[in-house]
Structure 1
Amino acid sequence: MLVFVIPLKSPQVSKSWERVSKLFERCIKSVCNQTSTDFHALVVCHEKPKIEFTHPHITYITVDFPAAKETNPVAQGNTDKGRKLLKGLIYAQQFSPTHTMAVDADDCVSKNLTEFIKQNPNSNGWFINKGYKYQEGSQYIYLKRSDFNKMCGTCNILRYDLNNFPQPAEYNRGYGYYKYYIDHAQVRDILTQKAKAIKPLPFAGAVYILGTGEHLFYDSTKLGFSIFNRRFLNPSIRDEFGLYNL
């Protein structure tokens, strides 16, 4: 089984809680659009979002973590995200997953992930090397042909035992304590050094959504792709990733 873990920011730090909820609703619909039912989605949040969509494979985990003590706003946001990821990943044990995947709450994922993992239950895991990036509201989508995992946090699928949980897990620590769960670009190299290498996913696995107005870190230059990587956002891509206009 594949368990998706989705950390959701709180209303208190959102520019628009309504906007965050709409982005999340699209994300969770995408996650639940899998071609195989052998998955579960864990949403870790301070407050359950007000959305219409429900699914029997979703569990909401509410937390009461205090505000991070980091002086840097980005580090504060990452600390909150790290705490929620760790909480969700440990909770996932209840579902006996073969693999887990961290998903940012505004991204979309391929509907083929769960079926692929089901067919490869013993693999160390995969990193998404190829994926898409999309600016909200555009009629185009851009193919990232390599190193997608260095750009987007929705990128690593790990065998459950490779999550490297601290013993015991703590939730009142600073940013550095949660780095393994936050620094998505480093996971591939860390596991390679431990002789537990993960492979590139053999298909485009996710869509990195930009221009939402709610990014912790956003750099518009990340959309500077060649016209040769531009695609019309056609019905096939929309269907595979559950990507619809908000």
Structure 2
Amino acid sequence: MIAFIIAFRHPDSTNDYNHVVQLLKATLESLLNQTNGEFRVYIGCNVEPKLDILDPRVRFCAIDCPLPSNRKEVLFDKGVKRAFAIQTANAEIVPDYLFLLDADDLVSNDCVEYLYQQDWKNSPGGYWLERGYLLDMFNRKAQEKYGFNRYCGSSLILSGKVLTNALFCGASENLKVTTHSAFLKACDPYVLEQVLGDHIAVRRYMASLNYPLQKIVRPLTCWKINTGENESKTKIPFGSRKMNLEFLKRFSIATNSARDTSVLELLAERIRFFKSWIASARANLKS
């Protein structure tokens, strides 16, 4: 079984909580439109947001995390919420893989089916997504990128057993942690901060455990930028792939967002994609 693990932000950490809730709703709708329904979603949060989504596959896990006031606290907030979601998932389904997903990104409707087609025995540590899309819905454009894992945290599918053992220092079966302070004491701080709270060092960390991740080159997620709530200030320059009905339906985007894409836009997007492939190849050689 695959479990999607999401951390949802503190209600007081944004000036427009309803907007953040709607971003989460779009993420969940992209998950619930999967062609293969054999998955679960666990969302660590302060309070369960009011959503008109009633599906037994979606589980909110409320925990008493304080409002973070700096970057380090933001990472630990995200880490603790994901840790609680993971603990809940292990108590209910013991997932084979944990897909770490951000609360405002979108998943291709064939994502789960594609993951089940992989040879899991040859990747006991999990996978990373080498390709994905940067999506700007405000300007209605998208660009495909190589090295997607360097851009976006919604690009890691980790072994449930390996990650759980590392997170709880091998004592997960005997633990039933319910508070923010208790998770900080019970969990490995590096895993909380750098694996569950961030994504840059995860591939190197899993390799250090002798569970290197395997690469998936099919683009399965969209990183939504320019939402007004992104920590990253990344912008999409000129150029876009086709914003046609096929692409929109694949990522559960409203079809009224379709638009014609000029030849110059298409050409610029392909050039940028090729440049990202070169940059990713160089980065992988160094790692």
Q: TM-score, normalised by structure 1?
A: 0.88
The structural deviation recorded for 1:78 is: 1.6
Q: How does 1:25-174 map to 2 (within 5 A)?
A: 25-68=25-68, 73-93=70-90, 94-120=92-118, 121-122=120-121, 123-124=123-124, 125-144=126-145, 146-163=146-163, 164-167=166-169, 170-172=182-184
Identity %: 23
Q: Measure the CA separation in 1 of the matches of 2:100 and 2:160.
A: 12
Q: Is contact 2:195-2:202 (8 Å) kept?
A: yes
Q: Quick one: higher RCO (CA 8 Å, sep 6+), 1 or 2? A: 1
**1:42-100 CA distance string (max 9 Å, x none):** 111111112222222111111112334xx6x2222222111111111122112121111
The structural deviation recorded for 1:138 is: 2.3
Residue 236 (structure 2) pairs with residue 223 (structure 1): yes
Aligned letter for 1:141? A
* Counterpart pick for 2:216 among 196, 201, 206: 201
Q: Measure the CA separation in 2 of the matches of 1:214 and 1:139.
A: 17
Q: Measure the CA separation in 2 of the matches of 1:60 and 1:130.
A: 29
Q: Measure the CA separation in 2 of the matches of 1:172 and 1:165.
A: 11
Two-structure CA RMSD over aligned residues (Å): 2.2
Q: Measure the CA separation in 2 of the matches of 1:172 and 1:55.
A: 31
Aligned letter for 2:183? Y
The structural deviation recorded for 1:127 is: 0.5
Q: Is contact 2:6-2:101 (8 Å) kept?
A: yes
The structural deviation recorded for 1:194 is: 3.1
Q: Which of the two has higher C-alpha Rg?
A: 2
Q: Secondary structure at 1:51's aligned position in 2?
A: coil
Q: Is contact 2:2-2:96 (8 Å) kept?
A: yes
Q: Is contact 2:144-2:241 (8 Å) kept?
A: yes
* Counterpart pick for 2:250 among 233, 240, 245: 240
Q: Report the count of equivalent residues.
A: 237
**Structure 1 stretches of 5 or more lacking a match?**
none
Aligned letter for 1:142? Q
Q: Secondary structure at 2:142's aligned position in 1?
A: strand
**Structure 2 stretches of 5 or more lacking a match?**
172-176, 258-287
Q: Secondary structure at 2:228's aligned position in 1?
A: coil
